[in-house]
Amino acid sequence: MADVEKGGLAHPPIASNASLRDVYATGEYDMEAADIAGELPFPSPMAVDLADAHSLRPPSFAQSEFQTIVRRQRRDGNDPEGLKSRRTRRRAPQVEDSQWDFAGWGTMRYLEISPEEVRNAEARIGEPQTMLGVLAASSVAGNGLSGSVFYAFPLVAAAAGIYSPLCLFVASLLLLFFRPVMLELAATVRINGANYVYLLQFAGKTASIVGAAATLLDAVATSTVSAATASTYLAGEINTLPFSAGVLTILFLVALSLVALAGIKESASVTAVVFVFHLTTMFGLALASIVHWAHADPHSTVLKGNWSLRPDTALETVRAIFYGICIAFLGVTGFECTPSYIEHMRPKTYSTVLRNLIAIATVLNATLSLLVFAVLPAATIASGANVLSALATRAAGRWLRIIVVVDAVSVLLGGVMTGVVTASRLFDRLARDRVLPQFFLWELPITKSPYIATLTSVGLSLLLYVASGMSLSTVSSMFSVAFLSVLFLYALSDLLLKLNRPRLSRAPHSGLLVLAGAFVVVITTLAGNIALQPSALAVFAASFAIVLSALVVLNAQPHILRLLLRTYSVSPLARLHATRGWQAALVGLYRRVRSARMCVWIKDDDIHTMLQALLSVQRNAPDARTVVFVHAYPSVDRIPSELHPNTRLLDEAFPTITIDLAFVQGAFSPALVEAASRALDVPRSRMCVLSLSRDHPWEIADYGGVRVIM
């Protein structure tokens, strides 16, 4: 019989009638003990005392599998011409570096994490960098919400007439469907990014990029509409302005970007002052209007006159109320921005902020709208010329009008801050997940403000305003659809949470009826806005397509560069001397954009589970060149026996990914994950877990961005 070669190790022929025990006992079977025995976790057959040959048994399945792996991998794969690299398909043979897509062999290591490092990790995750109080947190989104009265009132009045107070009241109450949904999402994922992080956790990278595009477009539109409305409001009051409303809008956006660069805490302090001033002004305006109504018109002649102009038929009445409610959702914009800075709020603070915003919208919008129709005649309201300023003049005189104008400009500029903060925090999250370039994480040395992200968000607002022809109506129509799209994605994220991650523990829960009500509300009002203004959908679709395409291209850089390299290799350009340097540039760029590391915390050694986790990472992190399986073990004897062999098999099966294995002693917990994150130099946002059981002592939100992938 000819010699049999396996893994490069030749063995002498064995008699066909020889038993396994006889072969081992006589030493006829050469195991190459010098190469193998040192790597086996069990004694080599040659190391067994031959005097005890009768006690020998055939190797177990695990032993034989491990021996096969050792022979195939050849000393942990330290062979440059080994199996993994030789089996890599050369899709671009003309490229000089034919192994440009080969990631290399993985390694195995034990992480030494001391109890002191774990305690330091607990301190780091227990003390967030900046926490906002209820007032400051409410003001960031509250300025956008409460300031919307200055541009929502005329639009609602034009559609619903005397029924405007009812429409604004109902629209505010409908937010009660979304509060439980947003609380459940926040209880599960308590990091900045809103729909982007929710869809990333519950659906994957593709869906998350759609959520990022919608959230970014809503934030940019918030800043643009607020700045444009402030300049239009101011231009309507002062006829001698040296600038046009369009130029003033640009100046407002630039000035507010400088305030945002002061940092989230300082920006929140400014917005809190503006918020308090606005609520005080609106309370004073409402009180002055009530007093004027009681003294100047005790018989409500103006209100009765406006009531007489209501629609005649029931169908027209229903239509007016329906369209009025759809448009009235512009009066609650800003509510959707709160999850974008949730890391800076404690859970109880977040719940209180959502409640406060709904209460403010309900009381403020309905009350002021009723007073407008009780004090101002229909002709003045229909003119749409700064309705609340006209109300202030009629109720108390010019001095109150001046205060209202100052308040309008300040609170609308606060709405600009809401959009800037939302967009910059989203940019920060996208950069941490390597969707955007890493320079978006650059911070100012003193304020620690991400200045690239802030300036980019303001730049997009300027671009949107200029591209719309500096038309407030065009931007506003797009803004209404963007706002409702974000609310729709919140409901969709909660549905995906219930379907795809039902085992995750969180509190509170939103009921299915509440979720169904949220879907009905947002779909109905979205359809109403589109039916009333079909151009709004076209403007939103065009803007959304541009933003989404940019994010998709940035996320798909490794795929695009790989395609360029393969195309270059078969094109005539590869044979030209003048273009020879192109391949080196493309290979270098490909390796830079695909140099990230991902960690997957794994509990057992089931190879099917490991394979599915690896495929999930490959789909959702195209920039990951290295995947580290991390296993937390209480003691050495509790380490799964097949974890290392299975990791090496997967490392061989995926030539384009380096698969490492790391062991860390301790119980899986947020502190251990944070300590391992420092030791491995991998942020928690780039770490994954397969799932968490319902009896797990911590929630996924406690792990600060760790993803659930199965």
At 336, give phi and psi (nearest 5°).
-75, -10
Asked whether 137 and 350 are in contact (CB, 8 A), the reply is yes
The upper half-sphere exposure of residue 105, i.e. CA atoms within 13 Å in the direction of its Cβ, equals 18
**271-298 mean pLDDT:** 91
pTM score over 0.85: no
- Note the pLDDT of residue 164: 92
Residue 179 has pLDDT above 90, yes or no: yes
- Note the pLDDT of residue 128: 54
Site of tokens 């968490």: 692
Residue 606 has pLDDT above 80, yes or no: yes
- Note the pLDDT of residue 56: 47
Residue 81 has pLDDT above 70, yes or no: no
CA distance 167 to 250: 33
**158-187 mean pLDDT:** 92
Confidence of residue 623 (pLDDT cuts 50, 70, 90): confident
Residue 32 has pLDDT above 50, yes or no: no
pLDDT single digits (tens) 392-450: 999 999 899 999 999 988 888 888 888 888 888 888 888 888 888 888 888 888 777 78
- Note the pLDDT of residue 34: 35
Confidence of residue 705 (pLDDT cuts 50, 70, 90): confident
Asked whether 110 and 643 are in contact (CB, 8 A), the reply is no
The strand pairing partners of 660, in sequence order, are: 628
**304-314 mean pLDDT:** 90
Give residue 193's region: left, alpha or beta (phi > 0; psi -120 to 50). Answer: left
- Note the pLDDT of residue 379: 86
- Note the pLDDT of residue 150: 83
Q: Is the peptide bond preceding residue 508 cis, with omega within 30 degrees of 0?
A: yes
Residue 97 has pLDDT above 80, yes or no: no
- Note the pLDDT of residue 517: 94
- Evaluate the CA torsion angle 342, 345, 347, 353 in order and state its sign: negative
Confidence of residue 558 (pLDDT cuts 50, 70, 90): confident
Residue 124 has pLDDT above 50, yes or no: yes
Residue 459 has pLDDT above 70, yes or no: yes
pLDDT single digits (tens) 682-702: 988 889 998 887 778 888 878
Q: Which domains are present in the chain?
A: 4-79 (no CATH), 124-554 (1.20.1740.10), 556-708 (3.40.50)
- Please state, for a pLDDT cut of 90, what percent of the chain lies above it: 29
User: Residue 465: which of 101, 207, 177, 222 has the closest Cα?
Assistant: 222
CA distance 345 to 40: 52
- Please state, for a pLDDT cut of 70, what percent of the chain lies above it: 84
Query: Which among 28-37, 146-155, 546-555 has the top mean pLDDT?
Result: 546-555
Asked whether 349 and 133 are in contact (CB, 8 A), the reply is yes
Q: Around Cβ 2, how many Cβ atoms within 10 Å?
A: 5
The strand pairing partners of 624, in sequence order, are: 596
CA distance 329 to 307: 23
CA distance 343 to 702: 11
Confidence of residue 43 (pLDDT cuts 50, 70, 90): very low
The terminus-to-terminus CA distance of the chain in angstroms comes to 50
Structure-model confidence comparison of residues 125 and 516, the more confident one:
516
Residues contacting 99, CB < 8 A, separation 6+: 85, 88
Asked whether 361 and 332 are in contact (CB, 8 A), the reply is yes
Type of residue numbered 353? V
Helix (H) or strand (E) holding 662, with range, is strand 658-665
Confidence of residue 509 (pLDDT cuts 50, 70, 90): confident
Q: Where are the strands (E) in 353-474, listed by range?
A: none
- Note the pLDDT of residue 413: 84
Confidence of residue 57 (pLDDT cuts 50, 70, 90): low
Confidence of residue 111 (pLDDT cuts 50, 70, 90): confident
Lowest mean pLDDT segment, chosen from 61-75, 229-243, 625-639: 61-75
Asked whether 376 and 385 are in contact (CB, 8 A), the reply is no
pLDDT single digits (tens) 343-400: 888 888 899 999 999 999 999 999 999 999 999 998 888 876 688 988 999 999 989 9
Asked whether 700 and 188 are in contact (CB, 8 A), the reply is yes
User: Residue 37: which of 51, 28, 53, 48 has the closest Cα?
Assistant: 48
Per the prediction, the chain carries an average pLDDT of 81
CA distance 624 to 686: 10
- Note the pLDDT of residue 655: 86
**583-609 mean pLDDT:** 88
**480-499 mean pLDDT:** 92
User: Residue 320: which of 165, 117, 518 has the closest Cα?
Assistant: 165
- Note the pLDDT of residue 386: 82
User: Residue 340: which of 532, 197, 173 has the closest Cα?
Assistant: 197
Structure-model confidence comparison of residues 243 and 407, the more confident one:
407
- Note the pLDDT of residue 265: 53
